[in-house]
Amino acid sequence: MKTNYNKLLVAIFSIALFLTACSNDDDHGILAPEVTMDIQDQALQLSVGDNSTFSASNQNNSVYTETWSLGDSIVSNADTYIFEPKNSGTYNLSYAAVNEAGTFAYEYTITVLPKLRPITDDSKAFVTALLDFWPAPGQFINKKPGNLESAEGIIGGRGLVSLGGWGGSVTYTFDHTVLNHADKNDLIIYGNAMPTFSEPGVIYVMQDDNANGLPDDKWYEIKGSGHDLEGTDRAYKVTYYRPATADGDVPWEDNNGNTGVIAKNAFHKQAYYPEWITEDSYTISGTLLSDSNIDMSNPSYITSKPFEYGYADNTSGGDQIDLADAIDADGNPVNLSGIDFIKIQTGVQANMGWLGELSTEVTGIADLNLID
Ligand SMILES: [Ca+2]
Ligand SMILES: [Ca+2]
Ligand SMILES: [Ca+2]
Ligand SMILES: [Ca+2]
């Protein structure tokens, strides 16, 4: 009897010990994270230049590891994170508090809008500053209308600048953000095209997405009607070489191995290779447009019919451009609220005999909605 009683005591003690061990294994005294977020709204909107402070508060003195992630990147392991977006876009910010006993998680979707420069009573319709003039060689280069003075001549109004052969470009800014109005054209680019003589220039636009006033953001091409034509190539490159003498033709080679020259003609005797470029060659990249509209079958009456829409120096009277036609590098449409910078680049590569090389001219660039 005594023995049985001792066995029972041992059994009871063992069970008690087992239960104690079990309960210790269960939590070690650990509490699952109980957290509240000071910003509860999970869909937020900010503008570039704004910042927002996110905080998580521990509600039960539990001990845990905290992680703030922006997309796939961990951005903080503290209880607070200051979000200062440098670019517009949609951001996913997530917070997690984790320990052995559990996880607390919270997610935000933050829409960051670009900072638009407003139109004021003083805003000018026409571009207000030249940012870059980088022509290709050509018959008008190194004199009017193909010099720096010509490029500056369309600031604030009308003038005339020629960009030289394929790839030559000029870049300007406005004193305000040119808005992309829904279902409306937004820009007008004046040139000197005639009904049977267009010299289409590709148009690129940029939003000052990081709001620093510099054109260091992304260029988007305006998709014109020549985009899908045979011969259009969005990854084209040409290298121009300084000729041995100033009166020589300017040789070029493209990234497909083709070679040619910007040929001298009798009307323009100056050097065609830009004199201010100190290197003996330079390479330009951009979009090459199809030359299928050019008809040289009658050498004394060479014609270059316009594309339907979407280019500079294309139709007489000025080319209206819809910012809704902007596409990214992959050809996908982009939804721009407005643009701050514009670049125009000679788009067709053609030697038109006695007329010389095809070269885009620009005589004015304006916000269509500020033109009376
Ligand atoms: Ca528009
Ligand atoms: Ca910028
Ligand atoms: Ca021209
Ligand atoms: Ca022209």
Say what the pLDDT of residue 7 is.
60
Beta strands 65-70 and 73-76: pairing type? antiparallel
pLDDT band (50, 70, 90) for residue 5: low
Q: For residue 363, which ligand has an atom nearest its CA? A: 4
All residues with CB under 5 Å from ion ligand 2: 208, 210, 212, 214, 216-217
CA 324 / ligand 1 centre spacing (Å): 5
| Residues 243, 212 share a domain | yes
Burial 289-304 (b: 16+ CB within 10 A, else e): bbbebbeeeeeeebbb
| Residues 357, 213 share a domain | yes
Q: For residue 206, which ligand has an atom nearest its CA? A: 2
| Residues 214, 77 share a domain | no
Residue type, 202: V
User: How many other CB atoms are there within 10 angstroms of residue 283's CB atom?
Assistant: 14
For 71-108, how does the pLDDT look when each residue is reduced to its tens digit (9 = 90+)? 999 999 999 999 999 999 999 999 999 999 999 999 99
- Cβ distance 93 to 43 under 8 Å? no
284 falls within a domain: yes
Check which CATH number belongs to the domain holding 76 and give it: 2.60.40.10
| Residues 318, 247 share a domain | yes
CA 60 / ligand 4 centre spacing (Å): 74
Q: Is the pLDDT of residue 263 over 90?
A: yes
Examine the fold and report which residue of 113, 146, 165 is the final residue of a domain before the chain moves on. 113
123 falls within a domain: no
For 113-168, how does the pLDDT look when each residue is reduced to its tens digit (9 = 90+)? 999 999 999 999 999 999 999 999 999 999 999 999 999 999 999 999 999 999 99
Q: How large a percentage of the chain has pLDDT more than 70? A: 92
Q: How large a percentage of the chain has pLDDT more than 90? A: 91
Say what the pLDDT of residue 8 is.
54
CA 359 / ligand 4 centre spacing (Å): 6
**Average pLDDT estimate for 176-183:** 98
Say what the pLDDT of residue 22 is.
40
| Residues 166, 134 share a domain | yes
User: How many other CB atoms are there within 10 angstroms of residue 280's CB atom?
Assistant: 10
11 falls within a domain: no
CA 361 / ligand 3 centre spacing (Å): 5
The boundaries of the domain holding residue 134 are 129-370
Say what the pLDDT of residue 16 is.
47
Q: Is the pLDDT of residue 206 over 60?
A: yes
Give the separation between CA 45 and CA 60, rounded to whole angstroms.
Answer: 31
CA 199 / ligand 3 centre spacing (Å): 6
pLDDT band (50, 70, 90) for residue 62: very high
Say what the pLDDT of residue 10 is.
53
| Residues 140, 101 share a domain | no
| Residues 364, 277 share a domain | yes
| Residues 331, 229 share a domain | yes
| Residues 275, 188 share a domain | yes
Give the separation between CA 231 and CA 131, rounded to whole angstroms.
Answer: 30
| Structural domain total, the chain | 2
User: How many other CB atoms are there within 10 angstroms of residue 240's CB atom?
Assistant: 27
Q: For residue 362, which ligand has an atom nearest its CA? A: 4
| Residues 54, 169 share a domain | no
Q: For residue 356, which ligand has an atom nearest its CA? A: 3
For 289-317, how does the pLDDT look when each residue is reduced to its tens digit (9 = 90+)? 999 999 999 999 999 999 999 999 999 99
| Residues 189, 263 share a domain | yes
Beta strands 281-288 and 233-241: pairing type? antiparallel
| Residues 48, 141 share a domain | no
